[in-house]
A and B are shown apart, each in its own frame.
Chain A
Amino acid sequence: EAQVTQNPRYLITVTGKKLTVTCSQNMNHEYMSWYRQDPGLGLRQIYYSMNVEVTDKGDVPEGYKVSRKEKRNFPLILESPSPNQTSLYFCASSFVQGGGYTFGSGTRLTVV
């Protein structure tokens, strides 16, 4: 089944404790992206990747890192999480620039 797999689905952590949210797609998509969803705001792009080893900042990159060492994986790294990073996170991929996204199931992160 074609899908984007995110893990974990839920995570509660403490301020400053490094964490990684994994994202993997099995559709051979070149383009992958991370978004966060906060109440009253649209999905906001954190980082995106056009292909292996090619990444760029979205609109809200502060406090996040990403890597794209393999085409299928695009992990999101929070080196020192803070409470303002409490949010619902989505990973998404598409086959070509401008193609419709396939979204992962989301990760609800709480930083206390």
Chain B
Amino acid sequence: ILNVEQSPQSLHVQEGDSTNFTCSFPSSNFYALHWYRWETAKSPEALFVMTLNGDEKKKGRISATLNTKEGYSYLYIKGSQPEDSATYLCASSEGTYKYIFGTGTRLKVLA
């Protein structure tokens, strides 16, 4: 079974700090990687879908990169705000319809 790992498990940052998290996945048979933002008491919301090695995606202050050869993706948040507080999930696929999710990075931005 494909194993997707995220680190750190949780972190606290001050408002205005920039931060980043890691998603690691097996690089063999890679098909696609997703990032989701999951706020408490809500549903996960898609941020990015990436498929190509070297892909970079950006949405406002949040961006992501993908390295399929070494099996990792980074999510960056520039100038963190309290509303960025959420759990960030990544999910990877080996080219089938089965997506495996990591356990997430829980971010708390302190005002």
Contact = CB atoms under 8 A, between A and B. Distances in A.
Given A90-B43, A99-B49, A42 B1 contact: no
Nearest to B102: A42
Nearest to A98: B32
Nearest to A56: B97
Interface residues of B, number: 25
A40 B34 contact: no
Interface residues of A, number: 25
Contacts of A97: 97
Contacts of B46: 100-102
Interface string A31-52: 1010100001111110010100
Nearest to A39: B103
A2 to B, nearest CB: 12
A101 B97 contact: no
Given A98-B32, A98-B51, A48 B103 contact: no
Interface in B66-111: 89, 91, 93, 97-104
9 contacts: A33-B99, A35-B101, A42-B4, A42-B100, A99-B49, A102-B46, A103-B43, A103-B45, A106-B43
Interface of B: 1, 4, 31-32, 34, 36, 42-46, 48-49, 51, 89, 91, 93, 97-104
Interface of A: 31, 33, 35, 40-45, 48, 50, 56, 58-59, 90, 97-106
